[in-house]
Amino acid sequence: MVVPSPTPMRTKKTRAIGIPTIDLSLDKSLVSELIVTACEDYGIFKVVNHGVNKEVVSRLEKEAVDFFAKPAAEKQRAGPATPFGYGCKNIGCNGDVGELEFLLLQTNSVSISERSRTISSSDPSKFSCAVNDYVEEVRELACEILDLLAEGLWMEDKHVFSRLIRDVNSDSVLRVNHYPAVKEVKDWDPSPKRIGFGEHSDPQIMTILRSNDVAGLQICLRDGLWVPVPPDPTGFFLIVGDALQVFTNGRLLSVRHRAVANSAKTRMSTMYFGAPPLNAWISPLPEMVSPQNPSKYKPFTWGEFKKAAYSLRLGDTRLDLFKIH
C-alpha cells in the first residue's frame, strides 16, 4: 500500500503532496509494482521497514557530526574535493556554489581507508569502518530495490541493474552534506533565497538518501512545480538517476531536486550514488525498445557520461547530449 507522507504546509510556489512511501516488508510482487509506479510518477519514493541496521546508520552520522565540528583548517586537510575529499561551498569545477560543506568519497574500501587518514587523523580506522559498514548496508538495500524494479519492469535478467553496482569496479560514490542553519531565511518564506545545493538530477543509476530530521530537500514534479519532501531520519529515499532513465528508454525519468536553506537547524544528509563501472555501456535495454518505441539515446559508457557531466554545470540536462533526435 502507498501511504501518503504527512501533508506539508501549502505555499505560493510549492504544492502540498506526499511522495509515495513503500513498506518493504509487504508482499514482494506488490512491492515491485509499487516501486515501478512510484518511479514512473515521481522518480522518488521513501522506503520503510527496510532492514538497514540502525547502529550502522548512527555510527556514520556520529563520525560525520564530529568531522564537521572540527576547525576549518583541520577539515581543509581532507580537501579540496576535486573530485574526492572535503569540499566547502564549491560544487564540481564549473563555478557552481551552495551553502554547504561536504565529504565526497569513493566507495571501495582501499580508497576509503586512504581518505580516512586525512579525514580523521586521531582514529582513521574507526572512520573508515563506519563508512564501509554504511556503504555495505545501503548497497544491499539499493540492490534489493533494483532487483524488485527489474522484476516489476518484466526484465528477463532480474539483476540487470544491481549487477552493475555490485561490480568490484563500480564507480559508486558516498556523499555527506552538511548545511549550516541560515539565520536570515524564514521558514514561512517559500522562495529558495539561499540555495543549499542547486537544482539538478543525479547522473547515476539510483541514489539512496537519508537525512537527519531537518527539512530542506525539494523535488520538481513532472509539471514543473517544486514540492518539499518531509524529512524522516528512519526512512531512506530512493531517487531515479539519469542512467536508469536511459536503461528504461525514458519510461522512468530522473527527478530534478535541490536542497534549500533552513533557518533554525543544521541539516545533514548522506547519499549513496549507485553507479556502474567506468567501462560499462549505458543504453536502452532490449525490453524497453520496440518498433513503436525506438531507442531515444545513443549508447555511451559510464566514463563518457561522467566526463560530460563534469564538463557541464550542475543544473544542465546532460542527457540531451546523448539523445537521438
Output 209 or 227, the one with its CB closest to ligand GA4. 209
User: Should residue 175 be labelled a site residue for ligand GA4 when binding is judged by CB under 6 A?
Assistant: yes
Rounded to 5 degrees, φ, ψ at 308 are: -65, -45
User: Should residue 273 be labelled a site residue for ligand GA4 when binding is judged by CB under 6 A?
Assistant: yes
Of the candidate spans 66-74, 112-120, 150-158, 195-203, the one that interacts with ligand GA4 by CB under 6 A turns out to be 195-203
Single out the residue of 43, 85, 92, 274 in contact with ligand GA4 (rule: CB under 6 A). Answer: 92
User: Should residue 257 be labelled a site residue for ligand GA4 when binding is judged by CB under 6 A?
Assistant: no
What binding mask, one character per residue, do residues 107-146 give for ligand GA4 by CB under 6 A, x or -?
----------------------------------------
Write down the catalytic residue from 10, 267, 313, 318. 267
Comparing C-alpha atoms, which of 230, 269, 207 is closest to residue 39?
207
Q: How far is the CB of 266 from ligand GA4 (least distance, A)?
A: 19
User: How large is the angle between the packed helices 124-152 and 109-119, nearest 10 degrees?
Assistant: 140
User: Should residue 237 be labelled a site residue for ligand GA4 when binding is judged by CB under 6 A?
Assistant: no
Q: Which long-range contacts (CB under 8 A, 24 or more apart) does 29-37 make?
A: 29/151, 31/148, 32/148, 32/149, 32/151, 32/152, 33/152, 34/2, 35/145, 35/148, 35/149, 35/152, 36/149, 36/152, 36/153, 37/2
Query: Amino acid identity of 52?
Result: V
Single out the residue of 46, 50, 59, 200 in contact with ligand GA4 (rule: CB under 6 A). Answer: 200
- Which residue in the block uniquely carries the three cell numbers 513498506? 23
Single out the residue of 103, 112, 285, 309 in contact with ligand GA4 (rule: CB under 6 A). Answer: 309
User: Should residue 43 be labelled a site residue for ligand GA4 when binding is judged by CB under 6 A?
Assistant: no
Coil, strand or helix: which one is 319? helix
How many residues form the binding site for ligand GA4 (CB under 6 A)? 16
Whether 267 is catalytic is yes
- Which residue in the block uniquely carries the three cell numbers 569496479? 169
E strand or H helix at 101, and its extent?
Answer: strand 96-106
Q: How far is the CB of 308 from ligand GA4 (least distance, A)?
A: 9
Q: Count the neighbouring beta carbons within 10 Å of the beta carbon of residue 157.
A: 11
C-alpha cell at 300: 555511451
E strand or H helix at 311, and its extent?
Answer: helix 302-311
Of the candidate spans 87-95, 121-129, 210-218, 231-239, the one that interacts with ligand GA4 by CB under 6 A turns out to be 87-95
Chain-centroid distance, C-alpha 83: 17
Of the candidate spans 24-32, 129-137, 153-161, 308-316, the one that interacts with ligand GA4 by CB under 6 A turns out to be 308-316
User: Should residue 44 be labelled a site residue for ligand GA4 when binding is judged by CB under 6 A?
Assistant: no
Q: How far is the CB of 275 from ligand GA4 (least distance, A)?
A: 8
Catalytic annotation, residues: 267
Which residues of the chain form contacts with ligand GA4 (CB under 6 A)? 83, 91-92, 94, 96, 104, 173, 175, 200, 202-203, 273, 309-310, 313-314
